């Protein structure tokens, strides 16, 4: 099979980690008989420097025509003082909207080889953590009406039935492929939008009788993630709550440099990226951990191209590399073998 990819490495360490992920993807192609043709486009701060905007219309059109998009990272202190209307992060919102990506998948997986980095006690994490946060991505308070008054400001949180139904269905479908437990997080004791959210979840649950459904208020959910994270399988929630909870979930794994993400829409096209930032202070120094981006490629193979064995090959190769004791600086501990960005990419490629 032939696949057309849009690569948007972005800023800081983005080009470093995207380059290593492509090494691994090409190895997968050779092994399983696929061709991945990738074209690189500017996005974020580098686009501002060249074109004056974080994303040009041409780049958006190219991403729309591609089979999927692989993103590195955008932004950095260099662009902190540009006008808010053209901040690098605006490119992410523009891509999500332009590609119709309403579902953000954020797995929080604690690798057993990295258990020592987890900030929680052993008796809390047990044999490990494997949580999938399903976040609504294009609605809610981030996209609602906002403004300022003479002595204040306001932001509006609004959801339509359609917006809730489509993200909740994604949550149920993913739960069916995992351990069949779905926790819906809302604030239905206060917010009208959350009351609609909860009623839709309860109604749709009848279509998925095999899935055990629970509800938590967002404040309690944030506590439970620290107190007893193993109770969670799939968490489905709105845009703002998902933004906060997915960051919390990533931190309790102890290894933010290991965690990928996927943004999906109605069809098969998706945008895949590591959850870490651009870290411009270490860009180009052969220090950054490329594993989150490599694992994002595995998610792309699984969710956009339905290439399950190819995705598993990458994940198994990452696990074997960790088993063999190789670590980048961010996950290094005494007794391990410290390697750089390029070396880590080569090690995973060899194991594929």
The answer to whether residue 187 is catalytic is yes
What number of helices (H) and strands (E) belong to the chain?
12, 14
CB 252 within 8 Å of CB 223:
no
The answer to whether residue 65 is catalytic is no
Given 16, 67, 233, 243, the catalytic residue: 243
Q: How far apart are CA 324 and CA 327, in angstroms?
A: 9
Beta strand 212-217 with 152-155 is: unpaired
The answer to whether residue 330 is catalytic is no
CB 8 within 8 Å of CB 60:
no
Given 49, 127, 155, 219, the catalytic residue: 219
The owner of tokens 């600086």 is: 329
DSSP 282-349: GTTTT-S--HHHHHHHHHHHHHTT--HHHHHHHHHHHHHHHHTTEE-GGG--TTSEE--HHHHHHHHH
CB 79 within 8 Å of CB 88:
yes
Helical residues (DSSP H) of 157-191, grouped into ranges: 161-176
Given 247, 316, 330, 346, the catalytic residue: 247
The answer to whether residue 309 is catalytic is no
Given 78, 97, 142, 217, the catalytic residue: 142
- Taking CB atoms within 8 Å and a gap of at least 24, the contacts of 332-341 are 333/116, 333/117, 340/286, 340/287, 341/13, 341/16, 341/17, 341/20, 341/286, 341/287, 341/288, 341/289, 341/290
Beta strand 103-109 with 260-264 is: antiparallel
The answer to whether residue 142 is catalytic is yes
Tokens of 346: 């080569």
User: Residue 290 CA to chain centroid, in angstroms?
Assistant: 14
Residues 340, 346, 351, 352, CA torsion sign? positive
Given 90, 115, 170, 187, the catalytic residue: 187
Tokens of 327: 């670590």
The continuous run of DSSP H or E covering 215 comes out as strand 212-217
306 half-sphere exposure, CB direction, 13 A CA radius: 3
Q: Which residues are catalytic?
A: 142, 187, 219, 243, 247
């Amino acid at each position: 099979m032939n696949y057309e990819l849009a690569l948007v490495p972005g800023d800081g360490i983005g080009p470093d980690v995207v380059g290593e992920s492509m090494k691994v993807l090409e190895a997968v192609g050779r092994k399983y008989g696929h061709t991945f043709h990738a074209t690189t486009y500017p996005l974020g701060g580098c686009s501002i420097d060249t074109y004056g905007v974080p994303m040009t219309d041409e780049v958006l059109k190219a991403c729309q025509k591609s089979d999927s998009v692989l993103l590195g990272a955008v932004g950095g202190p260099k662009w902190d003082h540009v006008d808010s209307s053209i901040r690098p992060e605006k490119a992410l919102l523009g891509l999500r909207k332009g590609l119709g990506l309403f579902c953000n998948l954020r797995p929080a997986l604690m690798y057993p080889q990295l258990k020592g980095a987890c900030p929680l006690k052993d008796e809390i994490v047990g044999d490990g953590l494997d949580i999938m946060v399903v976040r609504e991505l294009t609605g809610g308070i981030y996209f609602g009406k906002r403004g300022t008054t003479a002595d204040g400001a306001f932001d509006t949180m609004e959801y339509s039935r359609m917006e809730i139904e489509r993200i909740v269905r994604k949550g149920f479908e993913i739960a069916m492929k995992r351990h069949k437990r779905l926790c819906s997080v809302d604030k239905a004791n206060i917010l009208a939008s959350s009351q609609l959210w909860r009623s839709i979840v309860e109604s749709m649950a009848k279509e998925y009788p095999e899935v055990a459904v629970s509800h938590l208020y967002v404040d309690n959910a944030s506590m439970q993630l620290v107190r007893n994270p193993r109770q969670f399988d799939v968490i489905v929630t709105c845009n703002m709550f998902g933004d906060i909870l997915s960051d919390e979930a990533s931190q309790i794994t102890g290894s933010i440099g290991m965690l990928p993400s996927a943004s999906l829409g109605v069809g098969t096209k998706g945008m895949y990226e590591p959850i870490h930032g651009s870290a411009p202070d270490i860009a180009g120094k052969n220090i950054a951990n490329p594993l989150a981006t490599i694992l994002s490629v595995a998610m792309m193979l699984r969710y956009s191209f339905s290439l399950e064995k190819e995705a598993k090959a990458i994940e198994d190769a990452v696990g074997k590399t960790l088993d063999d004791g190789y670590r980048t600086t961010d996950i290094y501990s005494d007794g391990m073998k410290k390697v750089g960005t390029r070396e880590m990419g080569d090690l995973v490629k060899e194991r594929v």
